[in-house]
Structure 1
């Protein structure tokens, strides 16, 4: 071979080696760059994972609960009412209680197997309660057969306020889950979960073989950790890049967190169905969504159906596709049996059972939108929107029984009033408040129950008519040196002029003038002219101060017409105005929310039980006395027969042209504000006594009146007054009336217009008394 040929071959070899070297170097550099980029990207993913996983992982709905009913020895209680509340709360009535969620009602005793519930003082497990009542008084209480002085009943879940992302879930811990459910989940979805490091080639191969054998997809190749990464951080697109990202995240998750942490996260994250616009996430909520049960109450068949949903909640939807759901459930049950998680008897029983899902798909429909609007408004005042998405529990003063009776009264009375007075389009708003605490027990914002539109109880600002009068008379009674119940007020035609010279000639409702009346008669019979004279003599500014002291927070432009209620208030504001009157001069701010707990059961906010004295004790007693007279002989006297002579107090209110019908009434426990009117402000044909009062009476009759009991303060004395002069006099005077009055303001006159004539015979004088 010639030297030239050798040189050419050796040169070609060198060039070839040089090219391979360059390729190798380039590949090496690319590999290093790729590893570097992958490292940087992994650091980014790690930070993203840690931020989510170690912070607020999920936006969890606000859980709104009703009143926490606490029973104590010696207090009043009605077993049938408690039983009714239990049924509303999803408890089942049985002859003998054997499991959580059941109760048995006997003649004098109520046995309850209470479900687990996280009360503010820690986790409460399922426990057996016993309540014994004699003559409506609690005489014995026990928890798990141990006598106690008080016990707390599980509150009703009113609503779940779902966050903006429309994800709804109930967080559960591994300790709360049945071991059967965990074992079955791992069997179906990832049996090597506790042995791999996030990605399992063995699992992928096993799933492939099982799917080939079955002739269809019965097992997935992704680990639970990969599914968790996909559900928590990634979209559902099926691309290679997403799959690589999913694997990287799974490896990072396995490196950062324990298996138990990952499993618990998966159980709360997995998508398991669709409740209309809201997604159902996690096994905790899925148990309630499909079966109306807590997770630890599920049967084997129900657990199998839940796990079957992991593969495809839409495809295996038991409401839409029951055959598919049963087929998939039975496959899960068979695998459970084959892996010895079920006995043959349990397997056969489960496989033969029906789906036993809830009859209605909708979960936790908001049945009380008007009340919940108020809860939402208060919640926004107390907590940030971010904190509201952290699984908080909100406890309110809501009473389902009061709400139900309120709605029944509206449903019964409005059509009757429309027929009787030939009206149409009547609307209503009612507010029921606990006087002692200020908690709003029930609220109606319109005649249509469950309507989430305009809330008239909160947003309808209407003329309040004569409801303003107690504030004017309170301003007078606070000045006890000048005014008392016997003070004489003029009831004659008057003409007032505005600053522009416009004349105003107010009249009494009946168009009559009585010449003179006592101060108490002016209030009891709601007379306009005496009230105007009293207000003008007090001074409009002094009246405004009393209105504000009672709780009205807006700016007041005082003019004489305000004395007859030419002032706009919502029913909720009126309710607040009357709370100090019903509360013996003391008032708390009316509210729905009593306490807010975090997901960890920590108190985030609690209503402070602070009372402010708005009226003196003496004035509060006198005003309460007068309003009781209103219901006995005044404008609301029909309540004597409507309520069977039970003791209540209250005030009617009617605006010009009968556009607004009002009544505010109270017994010893509850204050009820009622408004009737039309949205277009047209006349209703109803006064306060013919309209709103009838709804109040209907509601109180259903709920049961707690008779008013008022103790006379030491500063009040029962005093004899001369009717014509209003002077405090002795028993020698004729034409007198007896009224309570402030002791310090009484100066007894020894002179009378007319002395009492002794009309007894001489025999009676000698031998009689």
Structure 2
């Protein structure tokens, strides 16, 4: 039994071993069978990995290619705007550039008036641009930086010494010079179609303190990053997390510029991506100074009703009524503080917030030593020095601006007018203010005398250059409506007479100032067959009068007789020669001023008469300069001698006599001790009162009348002349002085015959005349009445 059990046990072990061996063999077979399958899976993984890698490479290449192409598109967009017309900038219209040399006419009062109008501040100690100080005979002016058309001229200190109303000495930064000039008055900005107002300023014209403060607050690393600042973003994120709200932005100045200039204000990832790419492009393409200057002019700083305030140049004027160069430390701090949120820190609506923000900026300025401790303490104590009202000042000289706009449209297209051009004109602030003051003082008295509501138009020009210096289109100062100086077509009356007499004096072989003209009743037929019987103003006839007396006394009948002798076509030709453009219907009544003209047209007509026969085009605009300083258009002087110097001199002599003994003789006491020339004009029923007068520099045309064309009860001498005289006193008229031309001499003429005589006699007078071909009589023709009368000597001793 035991052996049997042992045998059975051995058999079981043997069977167990076989079973294990069989299992191992099967496992080996299974391993051999499964081994090729695992290798295949590894290969697939490797292939998948390789495919994904190359897919990523291709996708990256595609993305980079698309990004490259998109960057090219953005680059073109950036360059197109940044190098082209960046903004639709208003046209800036400036007055005349005041230039002073030794001996120039100038008074302290006029200089002060001009400086204040140009927003200079009167101080006791001149320290910064935009300030001036005055004593009895000296002016110290810190002139602001300005581009006169040849590049920016830095701010400089000027000193002008004045003696006897003339410039005695000139100094530039304490160095004596022969000539100085002040930047012109900005008359107005003509807004483009976008209605976007802006005052462009160059980087050189911006105070260094303002630039340092802006960079300190908005982008300290501006000159060191490449458009995007990762550290700045992280720093802003950290500060915002600490505060639990947004207290600091991570955008660089360049990114802000991109956002303002090229993109919308949508807060999306796509916009942020565009912003970053375009910032990098700007940094690559342009210098830091170019970008900073663009930012200075682009940044949004407030709202003026429907119009945005863009750039520090306009913001300085909007908030403080100053140029950016004239800002003090606290004003700079307030403007820089506005960058963060112009609406939130609106000084008119939220002054407390604005002061808090300003003081924070001031504290940063002090910490970085941009301002001293004393400046910091004074600035903290100062109130907000903003303008009292939000509304910007209305244009003060709309009538003159209408003339500028009319000329500008002839010289530049509308597109060119949107590229930031600067227009320099002949406008004189002193003469304009004197003109308006004369109207304010004298017109009420004239209206009282007339018993009616009167209107007025006046044009002042420099007849040597043709520049219109001042212009009034109505009695209301600053009225922008109907401009009577440019558009009121009124009968000109006797103002036409010098043109008639000019036609005679040019024919010196036939006529001279002593020529006798009939002054007898005449009847002429009009075009419709009706009889026309001209009469003199006083209703009298004198038989015969000398040519000069006919003009000096403004006699109608001799003028008509003279015009008919010359021929109506010749008279019309003379009127056109003087500068009248429209067609003229040649009829006898035109000889007495039945033509309708505007004051501006009359002013043009008299320029050659005042300018010794030299024609010049009357104009407001002298020069137009592009934003880059290129001259786009410049007035070219005609300097054309259209009247002989002899005829011009003789006519000027007669017009001077008008102001001494003729219809304008009241000027002898209204403007004392001044030699002037001019002509009165009065139309039928006293509907229009005219006077055109001139001294040695200025030509002034004055019209007075009613808009309803009813009588004014005023003649040219009792109405318009009064305003002319008051204006000439205010501008200190310069006595007329004209050189006698060759072949013109004083000649004695017999009053009875009108012939030149060699010897003096009782009934004769001395008059200038062209002596070429002049025939002299040996003696005067004796008056029969005088022959009957014997002197006591003749009665005692006989003849």
What's the TM-score once normalised by structure 1's chain length? Answer: 0.91
Larger Rg, first or second structure (1 or 2) = 2
Q: Please say if residues 159 and 364 of structure 1, whose CA atoms lie closer than 8 Å, have aligned partners that are also in contact.
A: no
- Pairwise mapping of residues 586-625 of structure 1 onto structure 2 (< 5 A)? 586-625=614-653
- Provide the secondary structure at the position in 1 that maps to 2:605: helix
Q: Please say if residues 763 and 780 of structure 2, whose CA atoms lie closer than 8 Å, have aligned partners that are also in contact.
A: no
Q: Residue 145 of structure 1: which of 174, 178, 185 is its match?
A: 174
- Pairwise mapping of residues 533-612 of structure 1 onto structure 2 (< 5 A)? 533-612=561-640
Q: Report how far residue 17 of structure 1 moved.
A: 12
Q: Residue 393 of structure 1: which of 422, 430, 446 is its match?
A: 422
1:284 aligns with 2:313: yes
Q: Which moved more, 1:497-506 or 1:29-38?
A: 29-38
Q: Report how far residue 35 of structure 1 moved.
A: 5.0
1:226 aligns with 2:263: no
**Partner in structure 2 of residue 433 of structure 1:** 461
Q: Report how far residue 648 of structure 1 moved.
A: 1.1
Distance 1:639 1:252, change over 3 A: same
**Partner in structure 2 of residue 268 of structure 1:** 297
Q: Please say if residues 747 and 767 of structure 2, whose CA atoms lie closer than 8 Å, have aligned partners that are also in contact.
A: yes
**Partner in structure 2 of residue 446 of structure 1:** 474
Cα distance in 2 for partners of 1:384, 1:510 equals 54
**Partner in structure 1 of residue 108 of structure 2:** 79
Q: Deviations over 1:143-181 (max 9, x none)?
A: 222222222233222222233323333334444444443
CA RMSD, aligned part only?
3.3
Cα distance in 2 for partners of 1:196, 1:124 equals 31
Q: Residue 735 of structure 2: which of 686, 703, 707 is its match?
A: 707
Cα distance in 2 for partners of 1:472, 1:177 equals 59
Distance 1:751 1:345, change over 3 A: closer
1:665 aligns with 2:693: yes
Q: Deviations over 1:338-359 (max 9, x none)?
A: 5665665554443332222233
Q: Residue 207 of structure 1: which of 226, 236, 242 is its match?
A: 236
Q: Report how far residue 482 of structure 1 moved.
A: 1.0
Distance 1:98 1:498, change over 3 A: same
Q: Report how far residue 559 of structure 1 moved.
A: 1.1
Q: Deviations over 1:112-167 (max 9, x none)?
A: 33333333455332333222233333332222222222222332222222333233
Distance 1:202 1:146, change over 3 A: closer
Q: Please say if residues 145 and 205 of structure 2, whose CA atoms lie closer than 8 Å, have aligned partners that are also in contact.
A: no
- Provide the secondary structure at the position in 2 that maps to 1:302: helix
Distance 1:659 1:33, change over 3 A: farther
Q: Which moved more, 1:380-389 or 1:677-686?
A: 380-389
Q: Report how far residue 730 of structure 1 moved.
A: 4.5
Q: Residue 726 of structure 2: which of 683, 698, 702 is its match?
A: 698
- Provide the secondary structure at the position in 1 that maps to 2:72: helix
Cα distance in 2 for partners of 1:27, 1:113 equals 66
1:523 aligns with 2:523: no
1:411 aligns with 2:440: yes
Distance 1:338 1:625, change over 3 A: closer
Cα distance in 1 for partners of 2:758, 2:291 equals 88
Q: Residue 490 of structure 1: which of 509, 512, 518 is its match?
A: 518
Q: Deviations over 1:253-275 (max 9, x none)?
A: 23333434323322221111234
Q: Residue 684 of structure 1: which of 698, 705, 712 is its match?
A: 712
Cα distance in 2 for partners of 1:505, 1:761 equals 47
1:723 aligns with 2:751: yes
Q: Which moved more, 1:543-552 or 1:135-144?
A: 135-144
- Provide the secondary structure at the position in 2 that maps to 1:624: helix
**Partner in structure 2 of residue 184 of structure 1:** 213
Distance 1:732 1:432, change over 3 A: closer
Q: Report how far residue 611 of structure 1 moved.
A: 1.1
Q: Report how far residue 743 of structure 1 moved.
A: 0.9
Cα distance in 1 for partners of 2:482, 2:368 equals 58
Cα distance in 2 for partners of 1:696, 1:365 equals 28
- Pairwise mapping of residues 319-338 of structure 1 onto structure 2 (< 5 A)? 319-337=348-366
**Partner in structure 1 of residue 681 of structure 2:** 653
**Partner in structure 1 of residue 92 of structure 2:** 63
1:355 aligns with 2:374: no
Q: Report how far residue 218 of structure 1 moved.
A: 2.7
- Provide the secondary structure at the position in 2 that maps to 1:265: helix
1:155 aligns with 2:195: no
Q: Report how far residue 375 of structure 1 moved.
A: 1.7
Q: Which moved more, 1:560-569 or 1:601-610?
A: 601-610
Q: Which moved more, 1:480-489 or 1:616-625?
A: 480-489
Distance 1:536 1:277, change over 3 A: farther
- Provide the secondary structure at the position in 1 that maps to 2:772: helix
Distance 1:88 1:728, change over 3 A: same
Q: Report how far residue 763 of structure 1 moved.
A: 11
- Provide the secondary structure at the position in 2 that maps to 1:744: coil
**Partner in structure 2 of residue 423 of structure 1:** 452
**Partner in structure 1 of residue 539 of structure 2:** 511
Cα distance in 2 for partners of 1:53, 1:734 equals 84
Q: Please say if residues 199 and 250 of structure 1, whose CA atoms lie closer than 8 Å, have aligned partners that are also in contact.
A: yes
Q: Residue 464 of structure 1: which of 492, 514, 534 is its match?
A: 492
Cα distance in 2 for partners of 1:174, 1:297 equals 15
Q: Please, which runs of 5 or more residues in structure 1 have no aligned partner?
A: none
Distance 1:406 1:15, change over 3 A: same
- Provide the secondary structure at the position in 2 that maps to 1:534: helix
Distance 1:218 1:719, change over 3 A: same
Cα distance in 2 for partners of 1:643, 1:338 equals 64
Cα distance in 1 for partners of 2:444, 2:350 equals 43
Q: Report how far residue 555 of structure 1 moved.
A: 1.8
1:54 aligns with 2:83: yes
Q: Which moved more, 1:415-424 or 1:186-195?
A: 186-195
Q: Which moved more, 1:624-633 or 1:336-345?
A: 336-345
Q: Please say if residues 431 and 443 of structure 1, whose CA atoms lie closer than 8 Å, have aligned partners that are also in contact.
A: yes
Q: Deviations over 1:17-54 (max 9, x none)?
A: 99999999999887766555444333221111111112
Q: Please say if residues 661 and 675 of structure 1, whose CA atoms lie closer than 8 Å, have aligned partners that are also in contact.
A: yes
Cα distance in 2 for partners of 1:234, 1:532 equals 73
Distance 1:401 1:277, change over 3 A: farther
Cα distance in 1 for partners of 2:532, 2:204 equals 75
Q: Which moved more, 1:551-560 or 1:134-143?
A: 134-143
Q: Residue 675 of structure 1: which of 691, 703, 708 is its match?
A: 703
Q: Report how far residue 536 of structure 1 moved.
A: 0.8
**Partner in structure 2 of residue 107 of structure 1:** 136
Q: Deviations over 1:510-559 (max 9, x none)?
A: 22222222222211111111111111110011101111111112222211
Distance 1:703 1:215, change over 3 A: farther
**Partner in structure 1 of residue 655 of structure 2:** 627
Q: Which moved more, 1:687-696 or 1:155-164?
A: 155-164
What's the TM-score once normalised by structure 2's chain length? Answer: 0.88
Q: Residue 367 of structure 1: which of 375, 389, 396 is its match?
A: 396
- Provide the secondary structure at the position in 2 that maps to 1:357: coil
Cα distance in 1 for partners of 2:352, 2:396 equals 32
- Provide the secondary structure at the position in 2 that maps to 1:690: coil
Q: Report how far residue 591 of structure 1 moved.
A: 1.5
Cα distance in 2 for partners of 1:736, 1:258 equals 83
Q: Report how far residue 193 of structure 1 moved.
A: 3.5
Distance 1:135 1:172, change over 3 A: closer
Distance 1:511 1:190, change over 3 A: same
Q: Report how far residue 16 of structure 1 moved.
A: 12
Q: Report how far residue 493 of structure 1 moved.
A: 2.1
Cα distance in 1 for partners of 2:195, 2:461 equals 33
Distance 1:154 1:762, change over 3 A: same
Q: Please say if residues 158 and 364 of structure 1, whose CA atoms lie closer than 8 Å, have aligned partners that are also in contact.
A: no
Distance 1:49 1:652, change over 3 A: same
Cα distance in 2 for partners of 1:23, 1:163 equals 57
